[in-house]
Amino acid sequence: MASAMKIAVLGGDGFVGWPTSLHLSNAGHEVHILDNLSRRWIDTELGVQSLTPMDSIQERTRVWHAETGRRIHFQLIDLARDYERLKNWLREERPDAVIHFAEQRAAPYSMKSDRHKNYTVDNNVSATHNLLNALVETGLDAHVVHLGTMGVYGYSTVGAAIPEGYLPVGIETTDGRTARQEILYPANPGSIYHMTKCLDQLLFQFYAKNDGLRITDLHQGIVWGTHTSETRRHPQLVNRFDYDGDYGTVLNRFLIQAAIGYPLTVHGTGGQTRAFIHIQDSVRCIELALSNPPARGDRVEIFNQMTETHRVRDLAQLIAGLTGSEIAWLPNPRKEAAENDLVVENEKFRSLGLEPTTLESGLLSEIVDVAKKFAYRVDRSRVPAVSAWTRDIAATINTDPEGRRLKSVS
């Protein structure tokens, strides 16, 4: 990246936000984390904890300063509720860029109940709109980089590669001609969480068009992995690592299940194809996006932030082959197609110099080693995915894949 910038990382205490904050600080930027620490409160609500022991954000930033001499600043702000505080902070600090991670990120959590649906919509949409609104009111020309999701496209099979955000279309006019234009790729959310990301897209489109905000939207795949080069520098800088049925991402969950002798839980046929990216590539992509901002007045820049695609059952069979684990085939708690293909364009990041990290046995083994080290922290009862997309589906869920539930002798 070129010259040093002042960067606000909204949600910088989270799974991708924390390693991104370290990475940018290490690159010489002045990093400010704004976070309401809600992800830690959700751990308390769910009765689960990160597999890796996490210190407070204040202790984490203290250790980073001790290790590197660089400071990461922290402000406790609820972006969805504290609009005036956010606006005042932006007016006073005037960051060059704002990275927006400050959203509830789990699809299963967003579908747990009506309360969780309301929370996800209120938190995610309000946080995004408050940020954009405050940037306009303060006259701040900061580049906004938002971490979105591949899930805005949906996972249906259309027989063509998903483009990076925009779809060229032809529209028949009243006089029989064909008018050509590019539109946002049709949204097809599969959960309340994904729906909020689709609403984000429309907010970005409006504020870029109406107020000239400079915005980059990163449609990210499923993140896997544990370490980045910065989190390896000290044990207390370790990233959070989720294994539970609500927040654990599928590949990480398989690796943890393998490490603790738990069956690999594949839902439905396992024919769901998903996009993936390693955590180190994720932070690198964010750095590349920061280095290549759109100009004022441009439409929203959209990147597909993923490096490879895999079917869930293929991943399970790969991990089972490496570790000798059993596979448990369970009813699917999600309302989705049993099988889908996924072909995704991702040339933009490759053209900017990204060299993708792919699923290699060494990196997979590294995660298993981390899981074994902290296996004593796993609550096996929190491993199953039990949040259902509909009431009918809820009745079919297997909450005991290990068959440990006490059975009647009668």
* Cβ neighbours, 10 Å, residue 311: 18
Please give the full DSSP string across 92-109, using - where no structure is assigned: HH--SEEEE--S---HHH
Core vs surface per residue 80-111: b (16+ CB within 10 A) or e: bebbebbbebbeeeebbbbbbbbbbbbbbbbb
Q: CA nearest 99: which of 218, 196, 197, 189? A: 218
Cross-sheet strand order for the sheet of 72-76: 72-76, 30-35, 6-10, 97-100, 143-147, 215-220, 301-305
Q: How far apart are CA 407 and CA 388, in angstroms?
A: 24
What's the count of helices (H) and strands (E) in the chain, helices before strands?
A: 13, 14
Catalytic-role residue among 196, 197, 207, 265 = 197
Q: CA nearest 272: which of 324, 183, 358, 332? A: 332
Count, residues in the chain: 410
CB 369 within 8 A of CB 50: no
CB 10 within 8 A of CB 85: no
381 Cβ neighbours under 8 A, 6+ residues apart: none
Catalytic-role residue among 61, 128, 149, 196 = 149
149 is catalytic: yes
Read off the tokens for 368. Answer: 């298993």
Q: How far apart are CA 217 and CA 203, in angstroms?
A: 11
Please give the full DSSP string across 301-369, using - where no structure is assigned: EEEEE-SEEEEHHHHHHHHHHHH---EEEE--SS-S-SB----B--HHHHHTT-------HHHHHHHHH
102 Cβ neighbours under 8 A, 6+ residues apart: 10, 11, 34, 35, 36, 79, 80, 127
In 139-215, where does DSSP find H-type helix? 192-211
226 is catalytic: no
Helix (H, G, I), strand (E, B) or coil at 253: helix
Q: What are phi and psi of 403, to 5 degrees?
A: 65, 35
Cross-sheet strand order for the sheet of 222-224: 222-224, 273-278, 308-311
247 is catalytic: no
Supply the residues annotated as catalytic. 149, 193, 197
